[in-house]
Structure 1
Amino acid sequence: MSEETEWLLRAAGLDPDRVRRVVTDALVEDLGPAFLDVTSVATIPDSQVDTADVVARADGVVAGLPVAAAVFELVGEVTGASSTVVVSLVAHDGERVAHGDVLATVTGPTRLLLTAERTALNLLSRMSGVATHTRAWADALAGTKAMVLDTRKTTPGLRALEKYAVRAGGGTNKRMGLHDAAMVKDNHKLAAGGVAAAFRRVRAAFPEVPVQVEVDTVVEAVEAVEAGADFLLLDNMGAELLREVVGAVGDRAELEATGGLTLAVAAEVAATGVDYLSVGALTHSSAILDIALDLRAE
């Protein structure tokens, strides 16, 4: 992987070593135990070199270009080839792109370009789809104080990449996992004997960890805040109930509306005064952004 690509990944908040593992695993999944692209080896001379363009086939927001670059740069290493691919990024993550826009160019052995193609496009299209979907939510919330949040409903193994794509699309990340923030949900409250008891237990066991508490009623919201909670998840509440909670809690806690939200109600929910809208669909239901690799004709 080139120094420039590593720098871009770090600037995006991504660990180059983790990206390397994801890319390598994905390439091996495609190449099999023989590390071989049988079609490219059979049809293309080892000495042939070409340039190809990574092209948007639809309008959207691009995310994951440094990750796609890592695929093209690592494919030679994974296959044992002595040559490498040179990547030049034309677009930047977070930019709106239009159908036909060239996002990057890649030059190198044609076999390597075509071997890396699907893995690079799978990751880039997936991440760009998440960014495009997120931008639609960010646009819907424009003019309000509310921000759109992601969740842990991510593709196993791709959480860091998908959460980065949310950021590229104008969204905000919630906790990365079970380790960096506590979230007291209904089952925790039931097991602990109530919202206040559950909160106190988490705070006693992990005093430095942020604690978020899920509540279903105004009474629970007030109880949680009086116990010391400063971040509440308002679960499956309609606009009227959300306004009641906002009025009862005031600025004593940050408030997140969550559960079954859609773009159609985004503005209405934001107008209640909540700070965040939590949308699992950003990562579990975003359609890909169609992106292709086109070899240049001689």
Structure 2
Amino acid sequence: MLTITDELKNENIGKVLVNEPLAKHTTIKIGGPADLLIEPTNSESLEKALEIIKKHDVPWRAIGRGSNLLVADEGIRGVVIKIGTGMDEMNIEGDVLTVGGGYSVIKLATIISKKGLSGLEFASGIPGSIGGAVYMNAGAHGSDMSTILIKALVLFEDGSLQWLTNEELEFSYRTSILQEKRPGICVQAVLKLQEGKKEDIVGVMQKNKDYRRDTQPWNYPCAGSIFRNPLPHYAGKLVEDAGLKGHQIGGAKISDMHGNFIVNAGGAKAKDVLDLIDFVKQTILEKYGVSMETEVEIIGGK
């Protein structure tokens, strides 16, 4: 890895960290080291970094702010690209918002609400980046990214940049084409908002924040919702009805506040979380005949 490390550093693409613990970069504070972690300073640096990575034929993947993410204890081989500081520009023209993939969802929702623009109220408590929100079609309170996104600028594995429309992203419940069908990084997003009364928008935002604060365990490191809702059922309700709230394996614990959250109660390993996920899946299947699928993205390992 020395050659690629030196080349990345020589190109001044941004931060280049060797054997960087990914527990520092995930909201659940779990994850082994990445061989290399880079944080490009802008989209040009990102393109250059990917060009170097491909030249050296090194595996890579991108992360944002590390929510909805569980990294294996063994870490990740190759290069992890963190889309963050430097790729968080924002521009508002009327009711159309262009925003960098590294921009904080919560920060953005707060800023535009104060400008009297509606559309991101649902995201007031989502602790991820815009790029990650597009990738996952993040949502809450009956809405999601697919309802406001016009198009996204995507960097694909071959180094090409392409604008994809809402339809081309093939959004569905917590998924987009970027996850498996056409893996790529959302570098920039264009969102269509609506003008409204600032007081009403801020009021809805506050209500959503209060709901999350009162019902979800944000006082502990966590990755957000662990399971997709197996509609018409709700994952948290199934876990609660099965009497699993508070169940703990190692340092991983099902939240006492919400059945669809696993928290790092102290010193948790990825294996603890994975074992707890398997236990929940088996229990719910046996009790209710319902198959549970994870919403959290699980990456890394040998």
- Same fold by TM (over 0.5)? no
| Structure number with higher helix proportion | 1
The bucket for the TM-score relative to the shorter chain is: under 0.3
Give the number of the structure with larger relative contact order, counting CA–CA contacts within 8 Å between residues 6 or more apart.
1
TM-score (norm 1): 0.24
For the pair shown, the structure with the greater C-alpha radius of gyration is: 1
TM-score (norm 2): 0.23
